[in-house]
Amino acid sequence: MDTSLYVAMSGAKQILLAQSANSHNLANVNTTGFKADLSQFRSMPVYGPGHPSSVYAMAERPGIDFDLGTVQQTGRELDVSISGEGWISVAAADGGEAYTRAGDLRVTPDGLLTTGTGLPVLGESGLMSIPEVEKIEVGADGTISVIPLGATSTELLVVDRIKLVNPERGELIKGNDGLFRMKNGAEADSSADVSLVSGAVEGSNVSVVDAMVNMIELSRSFEMQVKVMKTASENEAASAKLMSLG
C-alpha cells in the first residue's frame, strides 16, 4: 500500500475514535459529577521487517480531567456536593466498590440510599438503609441523621456515615460506566478530610464551548485525511496509466 495512503487512512480512523470520545464528553455535559476524558494523538512506528520508517497515527486517552465541576445550589436535603477533593463510595453494578462525585442522592421505596442513577451508596457498615422518616439530614462529615416517622424534632437518630474517600488521583482509573476505581483493585480507605455541602450538587466539568471547537477541528482534520487518500488514489491511477502506455 502507498505510504501516504496508509498514513491518511490510519489518521482518519484515529480521528473517528477521537470524535467518539469528544461526543461522549459532550453527551454528558449535564451529567452530575461527570469527569471528562482527555484525548491526544501521537505517532507510532510500524514494527516488523520492511517497515523501519513507516509510522501511523494513534488516538489515546492519556488521562481524565479532574477539574471540579460547577456547584449548583438546589436546596434539596439529600443533594450533596463534595467540598474540594474526595469521592463518594458506591456499589457498582459488578458488586465491587467504586467512587463518584455525583451527590444527587435518593431513598428508594425499600429504604436504600442511592445516587440519582440508582447506585447504592456505601456507608461505614456497608449498604445504607434508611427507615421511614419525618426528616433526613446529611452532615458535613457524611453522617446521615434522621427524625423517625412519628417522632419529635428532638429525637434525632444517626443511621450511618457515608464512606468518603480521597485517594491520590494517580491511583484511580475510570471505567466504561463512568465510575472510578483503584488501579490495584483494592478498596480506598475512608478519609476524615473529605467534607460535604448539603443542598447542592456538582455538575459536569465538560466545557460545551471547548467540546464544540474540538469537534469542528476533528471534522476538518478528518476531511483533510480523506482528501489525502483521494489524492493518493488519483496519483496511483495516473501512474498505472503511464506504465500501461509504456
Please check whether residues 140 and 20 belong to one and the same domain: no
User: What contacts 195, CB < 8 A, 6 or more positions away?
Assistant: 82, 83, 84, 86, 140, 141
Tell me: do 185 and 79 sit in the same domain: yes
Q: What is the mean pLDDT of the chain?
A: 88
* pLDDT of res. 241: 74
27 confidence band (pLDDT: 50, 70, 90)? very high
Q: Are residues 240 and 135 in the same domain?
A: no
pLDDT of residue 228: 86
Same domain, 93 and 193: yes
The answer to whether residue 53 scores a pLDDT higher than 80 is: no
**220 and 197 part of one domain:** no
Residues 144-167, mean pLDDT to the nearest whole number: 87
Same domain for 162 and 133, yes or no, is yes
Q: Pairing state of beta strands 200-202 and 195-198?
A: unpaired
What is the average per-residue pLDDT within 198-209?
95
Other beta carbons within 10 Å of 67: 10
Q: Which of 132, 90, 125 lies closest to 110 in space, CA to CA? A: 132
Same domain, 8 and 57: yes
Based on the fold, state whether residues 82 and 197 are members of the same structural domain. yes
Identify whether residues 11 and 55 lie together within a single domain: yes
Contact (CB, 8 A) for 30 and 223? no
Structural domain including 116 reads 71-202
Instruction: State yes or no: pLDDT of 240 exceeds 80.
Output: no
Task: Quote the number of domains for the chain.
Answer: 2
Q: How far apart are CA 135 and CA 146, in angstroms?
A: 6
Asked whether the beta carbons of 74 and 200 are under 8 A apart, the reply is yes
Q: What sign has the CA pseudo-torsion 119, 123, 129, 131?
A: negative
Which set of grid coordinates corresponds to residue 54? 513507516
**Residue scoring higher pLDDT (7 or 128):** 128
